[in-house]
Structure 1
Amino acid sequence: MHRPKEGGGRSEKLVRDRIPEIVQDGGEPPETRVAEPDEHAALLRAKLYEEAGEYVASGDPAELADILEVVHALAALHGIAPAELEDQRSAKAAARGSFSKRRVLRLP
């Protein structure tokens, strides 16, 4: 898993495209950089863990939109459009079911 870079008390993480300008509106311009193509997927995977952790900690359904945004970005890296991703989800649900019946499997 990709870890945010740290050194001298500084760290970094992937943020939504408009976050730097939103932060700047609050005062001093933030220091940013553009992720290298070879690190982008790792940063998105780390972001998925971050966003999922926020949902688990808070239970706030609004956090699901953040998770979905990261999932869509990851899918785009694989050349998968949101509609195609939904088709894959739907096909998997038809073949294996969803989670609507709340079934729990007992493991040995």
Structure 2
Amino acid sequence: MGSYGKLVRDQIPEIITAEGREPITYIASRDEYHRRLREKLTEEVAEFLSADDAAALGELADVLEVVHALAMSLGIDSVALEELRQAKERERGGFTRRIVWTGNR
């Protein structure tokens, strides 16, 4: 969990309360929030990598949610992030052709 606590989705405290428990939370500073988002990305990627095919899409959605939050924390909205992704795809391609590079001759 990194240092004390862990970053959770915005509605988790309400879900915990609805279950009859009392969540203990605080609001992270900007710097802590950015650091914890990076930690969360590592956590979600690890969960995706260890998931079976049935759970993989849900885990991938969690990765994407963290990526969007990270972009926003850097001042880039989802539309601008997608435009950047598309520009890189136009310039260098995507990963759809399954090409594996093994070196040069």
> Structures share a fold, TM > 0.5?
yes
As a proportion of its length, which structure holds more helix?
2
Runs of at least 5 residues in structure 2 that lack an aligned partner in the other structure: none
1:1-108 alignment, distance < 5 Å: 4-5=2-3, 11-59=4-52, 60-107=56-103
Gaps of 5+ in 1: 6-10
What TM-score do you get using the length of structure 1 for normalisation? Answer: 0.86
Q: Match of 1:89, as an amino acid?
A: R
Alignment correspondent of 1:8 = none
Percent sequence identity is 46
- In 2, the alpha carbon distance for the partners of 1:86 and 1:14 equals 24
1:38-71 per-position Cα deviation (integer Å, ceiling 9, x unaligned): 2111000000001111110004111111111111
Q: How many residues align?
A: 101
TM-score by length of 2: 0.88
